[in-house]
Structure 1
C-alpha cells in the first residue's frame, strides 16, 4: 500500500513550476553572499506538496506560524558546496515562508532551482514518503495533539 501511495505522489500528475534558472555554482555564490547567517541548500528535481489535513491538524500547524506545505527534493547542494543525490530524496519541514524560488522552514532555507512541480497530497501519502526519507515530520505535531487532548 505504501509503495502505491508513494508512486502516485511522485509520479502522478502535478502542476509544473520553475525555480531559478541559474547554475549551481552561481546560485551557491549568490546565496552565500545574500544569506550568510542562514542554513540553506539548493534543491533540484523538487516538488511542493500541499498536505491535505483534517481541520484540527491544519489548525495545529498554522498555530505554530507554519503552513501545511512541504518540499520533496531528489538532489541538493549544501551551503558548504557539497552535492548530494539523495537515494530516497529529502523531505523538508512545514513551510514558514515561500516567495519566488525561496522556500523557508523553521530550520532551513531551500532555494528551488530548475524545474519542479506542485501537487496536493493526503496525509497517508506524505507519511509514507516521510517514512521512506527517514523524516520525523509528524512527531512534533502528533505529540502536541496528544498533550492538548489529555
Structure 2
C-alpha cells in the first residue's frame, strides 16, 4: 500500500504522549511486574488510535472485553515471541487496557511503548487500511 495515503493518520498530531523512558532491560522488568504471563512486544514511534464508533458499537466492543482502541508502531524494538522483526512496523488488535502510560494491552499481547508517541481518533476503516 502507498504509505502516503496514511500520512495524516500516521504522522504527528493528536495528543502528545510520552511512553517509558527506561532502557530496554529495565522496561521489560517493569512490564513483568504487571504482566507475568503475557508476551511482551517493545515498540517505538507509536500511535494510540481511538476508533470512532457509535454507542451501539461501543457497547458491543465492551461486551467483548475490549475498548475501541488500537496501537500502531513504526518500529518494533523487541518481540519476545519473535512474531515481528526488529525495525518493522506493527498494528495491534483491539486493545483491552492502556496502563501506566506505556503498557498497551490486547487479549494476546502487551505492547511496551518507549519514548514519545501520540493519541488520536480515527475511523475503523482508516485504522484497518493501515498497511
Instruction: Provide the TM-score with structure 1 as the length reference.
Output: 0.73
Displacement of 1:12:
5.3
Q: Which residue of 2 aligns with 1:95?
A: 95
Structure 2 stretches lacking a partner, 5+ long: none
Runs of 4+ aligned structure 1 residues displaced above 6 Å come to none
Q: What is the rounded CA distance, in whole Å, between the counterparts of 2:56 and 2:34 in structure 1?
A: 37
Q: What is the rounded CA distance, in whole Å, between the counterparts of 1:34 and 1:58 in structure 2?
A: 26
What are the Cα deviations for residues 10-38 of structure 1, in whole angstroms up to 9, with x where unaligned? 12522110011011233234445664422
What are the Cα deviations for residues 27-80 of structure 1, in whole angstroms up to 9, with x where unaligned? 234445664422111111100100002333322211111110111011221126
CA gap of 1:80–1:26, structure 2 versus 1, over 3 A, is farther
Q: Which residue of 1 aligns with 2:24?
A: 24
Displacement of 1:8:
1.5
Q: Which residue of 2 aligns with 1:146?
A: none
Q: Which residue of 2 aligns with 1:57?
A: 57
Structure 1 stretches lacking a partner, 5+ long: 133-150
Indicate the RMSD between aligned Cα atoms, in angstroms: 2.4
Indicate yes or no: 2:107 matched with 1:106: yes
Q: What is the rounded CA distance, in whole Å, between the counterparts of 1:80 and 1:59 in structure 2?
A: 32
User: In proportion to residue count, which structure has more helix?
Assistant: 1
How many corresponding residue pairs?
127
Instruction: Provide the TM-score with structure 2 as the length reference.
Output: 0.82
